[in-house]
Amino acid sequence: MKKFFLPLFLMMGASLFAQFLEGKKDLIMAVASVDYENCLLYNQKECNQCKQYCAYDAVSYELQPGLRNPIPVFDKEKCVGCAACKIVCPENVIHINPYHLSS
Ligand code: SF4
Ligand code: SF4
């Protein structure tokens, strides 16, 4: 009897774990924002780190009125607060805001 149930339990466990991993993708912990004053792009220098390392396609570079360079804009709908952009930002100007404080 045990021989019959063990594979069944293992399969159920694997299925639950797969569902947990799938759901984890939707877990939003925080949202990124940027202190533009010291951002390299904002200051008309080259940088593409935050966009390049965002696995969620949440960063775009957009031209704003009155500026000569595009600046990084963080999409709150796509950002999950993983902080990859913060880690790679050479000027350390990206902040990760807990979701309940930034919404
Ligand atoms: S915190 Fe993560 S998901 Fe949000 S913009 Fe930065 S790299 Fe992308
Ligand atoms: S990585 Fe930092 S300095 Fe570079 S564009 Fe993004 S916010 Fe600006």
pLDDT tens digits, residue range 26-50? Answer: 566 789 999 999 999 999 999 999 9
Q: Is 17 contained in some domain?
A: no
d(CA 101, CA 37): 22
The model's pTM is: 0.73
7 belongs to a structural domain: no
Say if 52 falls within a structural domain. Answer: yes
Q: Is residue 11 part of a domain?
A: no
Which pLDDT score is estimated for 46?
A: 94
Q: What's the CA gap between 71 and 74, in Å, rounded?
A: 10
> Which tokens sit at 65?
């009125």
The CA-CA-CA angle for residues 33, 37, 39, to 5°, reads: 65
Residue 39 lies in a domain: yes
Q: Note the pLDDT tens digit of each residue in 2-14.
A: 677 787 877 787 7
Q: What is the CATH number of the domain that holds 81?
A: 3.30.70.20
* Closest ligand 2 atom to 49 CA: 1
On whether the CB atoms of residues 85 and 48 are closer than 8 A, the answer is: no
97: left (phi over 0), alpha (psi -120 to 50) or beta: beta
Does residue 14 belong to any structural domain of this protein? no
Nearest CA to ligand 1 atom 8: 54
Region of poorest pLDDT, from 15-19, 40-44, 50-54, 79-83 = 15-19
Residue 6 lies in a domain: no
Report the domain count for the chain.
1
Domain contains 31: yes
Range of the domain at 79: 27-102
Q: Return the half-sphere exposure (C-beta side, CA atoms, 13 A cut-off) of residue 37.
A: 1
User: Ligand 1 in contact with 39 (CB < 6 A)?
Assistant: no
pLDDT at 102 over 50: no
